[in-house]
Amino acid sequence: MQDSRKLAITIEKIIFASRWLQSPIYLLLMLVLLAFTYEIAKEIAHLFAHLNTFNEEKLVVLALTLCDAALVANLVVIVIISGYENFVSRIDIDKARGQPLWIKRLSPDAVKMKIAGSIIAISSISLLKQFLEVSQVTDRELLWGAVIHGVFVTSALLVALIGYIEKLAYKKKQEQT
């Protein structure tokens, strides 16, 4: 019986240590942030190199593209930090060095809501860009963009509703005990 317990403990330690396999994924996601920084710098350089040919519509589309990139980058940061903090290891950074307050406050449910909100914002910006470039976009593309955005909004509402129901059920269970 003792040998089987030792084996179980060893297996459990290995399974628990497997969470560290996520670390390289978070490090690779940081490379995605670097790529976004490169793309934004390239767009800004293009803007200033051709500033005299940019009309207001092109400038608005570029601004929306940059906002879109910033939102995606924010989403990547949220996933990296909260995923690491929630599933791999506690991040122990001195607050004086700039640790944002939200790091310790993001539960997996809060992360889901932030991701859903970011996806809706990104989808909204993409849809707005399509509407601003309506002469270059087919009616079919606009329709599908609006339908996909609607699906994202509906999904986010369902995620929020499920989270609310789970909290109510948990609260009710706590009151019964």
Q: Write out pLDDT tens, residues 53-79.
A: 878 777 887 888 888 888 888 888 888
Q: Are 40 and 68 in contact (CB under 8 A)?
A: no
* pLDDT at 98 (0 to 100): 64
Report which of 58, 60, 59, 67 is spatially closest to residue 40, judged by C-alpha positions. Answer: 67
Domain boundaries, the chain: 24-176
Residue 61 · residue 133 · CB < 8 Å: yes
Closest CA to 151 of 143, 9, 97: 143
Task: Tell me the pTM.
Answer: 0.68
CA–CA separation, 73 vs 40, rounded Å?
11
Express each pLDDT in 113-157 by its tens digit: 778 888 888 888 888 888 877 888 888 888 898 999 999 999 989
**Separation of alpha carbons 4 and 34, rounded Å:** 48
User: pLDDT class for 10, splitting at 50, 70, 90?
Assistant: very high
